[in-house]
Amino acid sequence: MNPQTGPGRSTRTTLAVIASDADVSMATVSKVLNGRPGVAHETRDRVQSLLLAHGYLKPGSERTVAPLIEIVFNELEDGWSLELLRGSEEVVRENGMSLVVTKSGDRHTPAADWIDGVVKRRPFGVILVLSDVADEQKRRLRRRNIPFVLVDPSGEPAADVPSIGSANWSGGVLATNHLISLGHRDIGVIAGPQDVTNARARLSGFRAAMADAGIPVREELIVPGNYHIDSGLEGGLQLLSNPRPPTAIFATNDLQALGVYEAARSKGIVVPDDLSVVGYDDVHFSAWAGPPLTTIHNPLAEMAAEAARLLIRFRNENQLDSIRRDLATSLVLRKSTAGVRERAER
Amino acid sequence: MNPQTGPGRSTRTTLAVIASDADVSMATVSKVLNGRPGVAHETRDRVQSLLLAHGYLKPGSERTVAPLIEIVFNELEDGWSLELLRGSEEVVRENGMSLVVTKSGDRHTPAADWIDGVVKRRPFGVILVLSDVADEQKRRLRRRNIPFVLVDPSGEPAADVPSIGSANWSGGVLATNHLISLGHRDIGVIAGPQDVTNARARLSGFRAAMADAGIPVREELIVPGNYHIDSGLEGGLQLLSNPRPPTAIFATNDLQALGVYEAARSKGIVVPDDLSVVGYDDVHFSAWAGPPLTTIHNPLAEMAAEAARLLIRFRNENQLDSIRRDLATSLVLRKSTAGVRERAER
């Protein structure tokens, strides 16, 4: 099987000969040569070997797959980053591979030079967290047959980009309905970054639930945040300084909820007696906040695990495009919310 | 430089010829063949190529170094795991490499099969967190010239194992002296797992500070913990149920401190008015606990960064053995401690 041993042969080989040797169609050879999907993994390997041997692929570009799955974060932030790591690491390890962790770029897309590293590392697949990929990056990954999945994508991914998200809009509705059911009408929101899809969806869920209940939204009680603790503190202080402050705050993530806690403490406002707070994400420490935080469970570990499983399935079945899945969210009742009447009775 | 082109040569090659070809001593060839340290990186590469070409090393065992640094955790736990990841990821990335994250084994040593994976991956180096390595694992890593560094080792590492730790005993002294300076004498301790060196050192620092101040230690106020939140809750409840409860608790890590907070809340005890609490580690969320936690800063990110730098230095200078370094710890004053008199005045 070493075509180099046939002297002179290289001069007469053509793609047609390779197709014949590999027992595949010309179209398949062309797909492999151009890194297009739609070729079974074993077939691709066979054709690639022939292309390499005949000089159609340069040595070193033989596309050996390393037993690595790469997870790319735009930031390594407490709580949710670790949940995603945990979920993916477990699946990756169970499948005899290793997890590469990369921090890259800004909130939206990996840095331009990141792609060079990926191409060199030739991982089994790539999990992109809270990211989108530029068309050029997409093209380079595809050309090298490196599958990728977006987790919790920050924008609306293109139709040909597989992604795993969660039901953020429903989560926003659940959080708001819970507060409404406790009698709250003056509900504040620390909105997340509105260039991120999940933040827009959570806020939109809030508005939908309020509209459904026929409660007017007080727009001055919706303040911006960036999903970090300090913006929860800042937004919380702003809301609690309102002459008619909210009786409840939907913090839209757990870190911002911790910031709201601190804002309340600094003003001598007791959660939940004077102020109900609902977080979002259900990261580990939210159960241990003071008081334990009522929040929306975001299946972060499961999302990352599912992304890893998708990549593995892609390698086996060579089909990944057009997958788009949202996992369910749910309300986790703890101790940071209470009926609004308790406050009126003060 | 392709010795295979010299026909018949393979029959007369010996290690002496390789030494001559590589312009090194026989001893050096022998070191490389047996994976012993003490050979400059470039020289090693040159000798390995020759050994490989002459059949002294099997193809596939040519020990190509992958641009990966591997960090091994025994658990991926909130707060401190992420600090270590952040610190190492940054240095690894700045040096054009990638970080592999592995969860393996129990608290002390990586699982036996982990080593097979490492040997296959041929990483640039390995950072072992809260771990020791078995002699057999050590031997296999050395044979393949894969350098490793322990971070915050759980036992006393052997003299030939490089490690980066921090000043845990001093941290225990600092925490205790702070409480003593506020007038506390009845000080409780949630001790960490006593089979882990840093936990023993922190407790020992507590005892030393108490002895220095001439304050007798009430042994019934020292309760066991496992560094997780729930053991802080359990231990906190036990301490606060004592007929003469402590006026202050040294929780020995931040997670246990959060558990103590919850124990205090459940008993209507206010921190810091009724009870002072000092944590340990200074993980990100400790600044945002209710109230913000006074704690000992443990330079976790810096420890992991330093470990990564050591591995890189090893590859450049080929000298790593016998390095043992402890980074400094310091007291971070926040709002969870107060003078004991305030309590007496209740």
Compare B245 and A51 and report the one with higher pLDDT.
B245
Whether B117 contacts chain A with CB within 8 A: yes
Whole-number pLDDT of residue A149:
92
Whether B73 contacts chain A with CB within 8 A: no
Q: Which residues in chain B touch residue A120, judged by CB atoms under 8 angstroms apart?
A: 67
Residues 43-72 of chain B with CB under 8 A from chain A are: 66-68, 70
Tell me the average pLDDT across A267-295.
93
Contact: B68, A290; criterion CB under 8 Å: no
Contact: B262, A100; criterion CB under 8 Å: no
Q: How confident is the model at residue B75 (pLDDT cuts 50, 70, 90)?
A: confident
Residue A337 has pLDDT above 50, yes or no: yes
Domains and CATH numbers, chain A: 3-53 (1.10.260), 66-165+300-325 (3.40.50.2300), 168-298+332-344 (3.40.50.2300)
Residue A51 has pLDDT above 80, yes or no: no
Please tell me the distance from the alpha carbon of residue B134 to that of residue B154, in angstroms, as a whole number: 13
Terminal alpha carbon distance of chain B: 85
DSSP B202: H
Whether A335 contacts chain B with CB within 8 A: no
Contact: A103, B90; criterion CB under 8 Å: yes
Contact: B86, A78; criterion CB under 8 Å: no
The C-alpha of B98 sits at a distance from chain A's nearest C-alpha, in angstroms, of 7
Question: Who among B68, B76, B93 is closest to A82 (CB)?
Answer: B76
Whole-number pLDDT of residue A214:
98
Whether A98 contacts chain B with CB within 8 A: yes
Burial class (CB in 10 A: 0-12, 13-18, 19+), A267: middle
Compare A103 and B268 and report the one with higher pLDDT.
B268
Task: Write the CA distances from A44 to A22, A61, A63, A270, B271, integer angstroms.
Answer: 10, 14, 10, 63, 64
Using CA coordinates, name the residue in chain B closest to A259: B288
The C-alpha of B216 sits at a distance from chain A's nearest C-alpha, in angstroms, of 33
Residue A224 β-bridge partners: A191
Q: Which residues in chain B touch residue A98, judged by CB atoms under 8 angstroms apart?
A: 70, 100-102, 117, 121
The separation between CA A337 and the C-alpha centre of its own chain, rounded to angstroms, equals 28
What token pair was written down for A279?
């977080």
Whole-number pLDDT of residue B139:
84
Please tell me the distance from the alpha carbon of residue A157 to that of residue A169, in angstroms, as a whole number: 17
For residue range B289-301, what is the model confidence (pLDDT) as tens digits? 889 999 999 999 9
Q: Alpha helices of A13-106 — where are they, by DSSP H?
A: 15-22, 26-33, 41-53, 80-94
Q: How confident is the model at residue A341 (pLDDT cuts 50, 70, 90)?
A: low
Contact: B99, A98; criterion CB under 8 Å: no
Whether A16 contacts chain B with CB within 8 A: no
Least confident segment among A216-225, A337-346, B107-116, B160-169: A337-346
Q: Specify the amino acid at residue A9.
A: R
The C-alpha of B254 sits at a distance from chain A's nearest C-alpha, in angstroms, of 11
% of chain B residues with pLDDT over 90: 50
Residue B52 has pLDDT above 50, yes or no: yes
Contact: B100, A98; criterion CB under 8 Å: yes
For residue range A177-222, what is the model confidence (pLDDT) as tens digits? 999 999 999 999 999 999 888 999 999 999 999 999 999 999 999 9
The C-alpha of A66 sits at a distance from chain B's nearest C-alpha, in angstroms, of 9
Question: Who among B85, B90, B229 is closest to A288 (CB)?
Answer: B229
Contact: A285, B258; criterion CB under 8 Å: yes
For residue range B222-250, what is the model confidence (pLDDT) as tens digits? 999 999 999 999 999 999 999 999 999 99
Question: Who among A96, A99, A285 is closest to B285 (CB)?
Answer: A285
Q: How confident is the model at residue B5 (pLDDT cuts 50, 70, 90)?
A: very low
Whether A76 contacts chain B with CB within 8 A: yes
Contact: B288, A100; criterion CB under 8 Å: no
Which residue is it, tokens 């205790």? B176
Contact: A262, B292; criterion CB under 8 Å: yes
Tell me the average pLDDT across B152-179.
89
Q: How confident is the model at residue A134 (pLDDT cuts 50, 70, 90)?
A: confident
Residue A58 has pLDDT above 80, yes or no: no
Compare B141 and A45 and report the one with higher pLDDT.
B141
Contact: A288, B258; criterion CB under 8 Å: yes
Residue A57 has pLDDT above 70, yes or no: no
ipTM surpassing 0.90: no
| Composition of chain B by helix, strand, coil, percent to 5 | 45, 15, 40
Around Cβ A45, how many Cβ atoms within 10 Å? 16
Whether A103 contacts chain B with CB within 8 A: yes
Task: Write the CA distances from A69 to A85, A92, A123, A148, A199, integer angstroms.
Answer: 12, 7, 6, 10, 28
Whether B81 contacts chain A with CB within 8 A: yes
The C-alpha of A78 sits at a distance from chain B's nearest C-alpha, in angstroms, of 7
Contact: A103, B120; criterion CB under 8 Å: no
Whether B84 contacts chain A with CB within 8 A: no
Please tell me the distance from the alpha carbon of residue B87 to that of residue B89, in angstroms, as a whole number: 6
Residue A45: left (phi > 0), alpha (psi -120 to 50), or beta?
alpha
Whole-number pLDDT of residue A34:
63
Question: Who among A89, A261, A291 is closest to B265 (CB)?
Answer: A291
Tell me the average pLDDT across A98-123.
78
Residue A78 has pLDDT above 80, yes or no: no
Please tell me the distance from the alpha carbon of residue B210 to that of residue B29, in angstroms, as a whole number: 57
How confident is the prediction for chain A on average, in pLDDT?
A: 85
Whether A4 contacts chain B with CB within 8 A: no
What token pair was written down for B155?
């036992």
For residue range B183-216, what is the model confidence (pLDDT) as tens digits? 999 999 999 999 888 999 999 999 999 999 999 9
